[in-house]
Structure 1
Amino acid sequence: MFGASEYGVDIEISTEAVDRLVAVTPGDVDPAPELSFARNVFIPLTTACRYTCTYCTYYDSPGNASLLSPAEVREICERGADAGCTEALFTFGDDPDDRYTEIHEQLSAWGHDSIHSYLREVCGIALECGLLPHSNPGDQTREQMARVADVNASMGVMLETTAEVAAHGGPRSKAPGQRLATIATAGELGVPFTTGVLVGIGETLRDRAESLLAIRELHERYGHVQEVIVQPVVENERWGGGSPDLATMRRVTAMARAALPENVSVQSPPNLAPVEQLLDCGVDDFGGVSPVTGDHINPEYAWPALSELEEIAERAGVPLAERLPVHERYVSGAWLPERIEAAIEADNRAGRRYRALL
């Protein structure tokens, strides 16, 4: 199903399970008893990407793509640490291919044979600055993920949808099966993982149900999915296809809450979604919010101030807690690599912020 078997992943979802999830409405789920967020710095390592999705403003064409230097990464991390951030969110387009000659030449000049080799170096810079890396490198092979897993507190990739949609179309199209294989690889390697669905790119209600059930099946297999983002596509300079309406977002958010185990968070990004109107649909997390950097994937949509999140939680009558980029059950559950455990323990011994968050 979904072409996943082509990439070595077998996923079977029954028609009855899809029917049950499609029937879920906001009235079938309960509001979360609390809300959480992570304080991060957003580090767009490179804007080179093998894909050319029609809704994405993140990627740049060959000759125009950027690549942050180690010095630039360190400066961003230091600003984040000074602002009390705990997470260094590394993003870049899926494994840049041979079209990006200048990017590859620069990586080679810095002593790297791939973007993943470079990612390992900059994750080390983040750790030196007192931040926990959370990397979103897109589709990854087992070898690529294993190369950086031990320097990341958690990782992620958006599934987006299991459907074949025109927004992914063309000769450089994303393959749902490959995305599912990346999520499965994280489970095999024991990496706490964030994924999600992108709503409004041409998928149907049943496609959304199938996507959520596919995520659930992989989590049941490995136990590694810490949160699932329900994100609307938004208008931008490359996407004029509109955004899903409030009723759609409420329905899909409720479906996510119903589909997933209780300990898997349902995240709604507060700069993209009408979060206050979604809280009764089971949202319990706002994801990473930065007091230092913008959302480089959606630059036209600014983060809300942390005080705004506090006000939303207060109006909802629930507490708002700051969390690490890796959720608490993975910190205490022997999931983390030694280097990440050591970073948290060192910060605890110094009496700084990680202890206060756990």
Structure 2
Amino acid sequence: MTDIPGADEYGIDLTIDEAEVERLLDVGPADVEAASELSFARNVFLPLTTACRYTCTYCTYYDPPGQASLMSPEDIRESVRLGADAGCTEALFTFGDDPDDRYTQIHDQLDEWGHDSIHEYLREACEIALDEGLLPHANPGDQTYEEMAQVADVNASMGVMLETTAEVQAHGGPRAKNPGQRLNTIRNAGELGVPFTTGILVGIGEDWTDRAESLLAIRDLHERYGHVQEVIVQPVSNNERWTDGSPSIETQRRVVAMARAALPDEVSVQVPPNLAPARDLVDCGVDDLGGVSPVTDDYVNPDYEWPALRELEDIAEHAGVPLRERLPVYEHFLEDGRQWVSERVRAELDADSPAGERYRAVLEGESLAAD
């Protein structure tokens, strides 16, 4: 057991073997094998609201009260239709953690639209995406079990970045993120049987032991529930609020290798190609390049454009491996005997419709040839 801030508050009981921490601290790129293929998903990025209760010093996503936006149902429908027409399969819904009481305009607008909370509105947004031919992947920050249960059946997968199990100054302030609360969200997904994406953020004040412990905490929860589909290794990037730079290439290579060594084979290791030097990392165990969008910006990192498909193909060619498109829910969750996706999502995958045909083309490996 390790002392993770907030773990006791949320009843998080993790077993992190100190010998395993020491093992990971000795891992380098030469100790892991390169993946035999690279995958990616084609998505539409939908910033449901830019309101957030937290004020992390590296984040440009949140807007202060009075300036935060809230996507309307009409805007959501227009965006997902555009994405479906462009061949996307994923509607990535993201927003800052539950807007607190300072965001009166956001709460008033939700009330006007007939919703008590942003999570209740998220359900409507996911239903719009399904109706228009995209599979929702919601990343709404911390969620209670009840909040996640409210939207689990209209999502193909969900996610939240753990970031770190350490208490770091970058999370400081009166509304700091709580590692125990993040771990509780990952546990809630496991208890609800939701295919899940999480990850670590590198360079925000954590040390090497923190990185190893964060990866082992994720592994421990996955071993209990089998629900983690991918772990993102994301370097912090310079922006208008963060000017301390990104971790070095050598650091990123070592962390990616550490992630590959820490995690079971069925859990993918992802690096975001608009934020990380993917060509320099693919030999360290990376097997996924994340979700990229042909139609929308990366609203969390607006200074860093998504790469085009040709650039992803160049990364794969550099690595000497094939590039494969995937759905927002990894294929082995669809083949597992356990019911990982709801009947609603399964019906969309099997539907005799343009969307169903698009999903099956991805599963059958025909999507890239059609691009």
Change (3 A) 1:278 1:329: same
Identity fraction in percent: 73
Residue 228 of structure 2 corresponds to residue 200 of structure 1: no
When residues 11 and 350 of structure 1 are mapped into structure 2, their CA distance, relative to the original with a 3 A threshold, is: closer
Shift of 1:167: 0.1
Q: Deviations for 1:119-153, whole angstroms, at most 9, x for unmatched residues?
A: 00010000011000000000000110000000000
Deviation at 1:14, TM superposition (A): 2.0
In 2, Cα distance between equivalents of 1:347 and 1:173: 47
- Kindly tell me: are residues 245 and 9 of structure 1, through their superposed partners in 2, closer, same or farther at Cα, counting changes over 3 Å? same
2:350 touches 2:356 (CA, 8 Å); kept in 1? no
Query: 2: distance between equivalents of 1:230 and 1:118?
Result: 30
AA at the equivalent of 1:356: A
Give how far 1:349 is off. Answer: 8.7
Q: 1:133 — aligned with what? A: 136
Gap change, CA 1:348 and 1:75, over 3 Å in 2: closer
Q: How far apart in 1 are the matches of 2:340 and 2:294?
A: 29
Normalised TM-score (structure 1): 0.99
The 1-side partners of 2:147 and 2:213 are apart by 27
* 1:203-227 superposed Cα distances (whole Å, 9 cap, x missing partner): 0011000000000000000000000
| Misfit runs of 4+, over 2 Å | 347-351
* Matched-pair contact (CA < 8 Å) for 1:347–1:354: no
Q: In structure 1, which of residues 275, 287, 298 is the aligned counterpart of residue 290 of structure 2?
A: 287
Unaligned runs of 5+ in 2: 364-371
Q: Distance in 1 between matches of 2:358 and 2:332?
A: 18
Q: Choose from 30, 33, 37 the match for 1:27.
A: 30
What is the letter of the counterpart of residue 111 of structure 2? S
Aligned-partner residue type, residue 290 of structure 2 = G
Measure, in 1, the Cα distance between the counterparts of 2:76 and 2:362: 25
From 11, 17, 34, the equivalent of 1:8 is: 11
Count of residues paired in the alignment: 358
- The aligned residue for residue 111 of structure 2 is 108
Aligned match of 2:169: 166
Residues 348, 356 of structure 2: 8 Å contact kept: no
CA RMSD for the aligned pairs?
Answer: 1.0
2:343 aligns with one of 338, 349, 358:
338
Change (3 A) 1:59 1:84: same
Secondary structure in structure 1 of the residue aligned to 2:9: helix
- Does residue 313 of the first structure (1) align with residue 316 of the second (2)? yes
Displacement of 1:299 after TM fit? 0.1
SS of aligned partner of 1:134: strand
| SS of the residue 1:88 aligns to | strand
User: Could you say which residue in structure 2 is the equivalent of 1:64?
Assistant: 67
Partner of 1:85: 88
Is contact 1:48–1:66 with CA below 8 Å preserved after alignment? yes
* Kept in 2: contact 1:230–1:253 (CA 8 A): yes
